[in-house]
Structure 1
Amino acid sequence: MSKIAEAVELMKESKYEEAANLFNEYIEENPNDPVGFINFGNLLLHIGEHESAINFFQKALSLENTTATAYYGIGNAYFEMEDFPKAQQNFLEAIKLGLEEADVYFMLGMSHQNQQQFKLALPYLLRAKEITPQDEEVVFQYGLALAQSELLSDAKKVFETVLELNESHSDALYNLGVISLFEEDVTSAVAYFDEALKYNPNHVLAANGKRVAEEAIN
């Protein structure tokens, strides 16, 4: 097993100091290989050292400026720091350089979502959903972006798909309840809110939605 692979395994076991030592050794032995810097950057990102992580990713780019995973790493660091415009720029660069993975499209979509740019998020979240159609969080966030873009009939179908993946997804149930209210189907709305509360009794929005719906009935 290579030092990089060994260090990655140590990271999975939360042995970060040992992993860091191996990454360090690899970098000392291979100072012109961006892979060592990218992996060390990922480690720093994982433990919340975002600015230090960016430095390592930028070092990787200084060695090889077309390294898509380094841009992806920088994007993740800025996302965690809630600098969504910079996150967005770096995720886009990673995609331009050929990174064709659900995660980068999802994170780019979420960067737009966090800036209230719901319609701009849609194509990226859709692409992430196409790549990983079984990932309930990806599918849910796509549905949420559709709902926030006021495309309610499309959102409804997507939230129903989320429930096919996980029938106890309380946020999907809550959103179906809200859509039912917009459709003036108050009975269905109450049923969705009840179902959301069954799986998550502390779902405040579902409790409020149920109260509003029941008041409409009475």
Structure 2
Amino acid sequence: MLTPQVPIAKEGYPFIVFSAFCTLLAAILGMAAVAGVLLFVTFFILSFFRDPERFVTDNENAVVSPADGKIITIERVMDTRFTEGEVQKISIFMNVFNVHVNRVPATGKVMKILYQPGKFYSADSAKGALQNEYCATVIATPQGRKLAFVQIAGLIARRIICWLEPEDSVVRGRRFGLIRFGSRVDLYLPPDTEIMVQLGQKVRSGETIVGHLR
């Protein structure tokens, strides 16, 4: 199943328009070097807010990656903050060159959303995972399985955007938010989930299958 294509996330429009305006103004004023730098910045912003089409599996037991990036953690832990039980935790680090639109990993219903202000340490550090600002979404699948996906701010990323609300019904692969500019998303899965990814693997939001629910 292909999700509808939206080339650029709407949250990027103000940044793109402002940067393009400054580029044009510098060019009109004859500031060629400045215009060149600003043109590069404009293309970088366009790239950052890109929102490409993705192929989403129809397998009802599949859990897809909520973010583009690299797998930096796969571990079994006791989760006392979100799902309140033993989980398999997968952490995905997004650098500034990754697509930053996040997607729902599994079909279900939003049980709760937890927002916590915090610090802005490097998102790929243990300190950042525990102390940084985050927005956690907990959902229950139609089969009653509980899982959570957590957007975590980083050293550069200072703005978490989540479009979901409690009681929302969500579909695997649906866009649910983004993080500006570069950060991390943690995924908390039931302990018996069959994990399909490895440390260091690059994944694509809405497309890469990270696990199968049993």
- The TM-score normalised by the length of structure 2 is 0.24
Relative to its length, the structure with more helix (as a share) is 1
- Find the structure with the greater CA-based Rg: 1
Instruction: Report 1 or 2 for greater relative contact order, CA contacts < 8 Å, sequence distance ≥ 6.
Output: 2
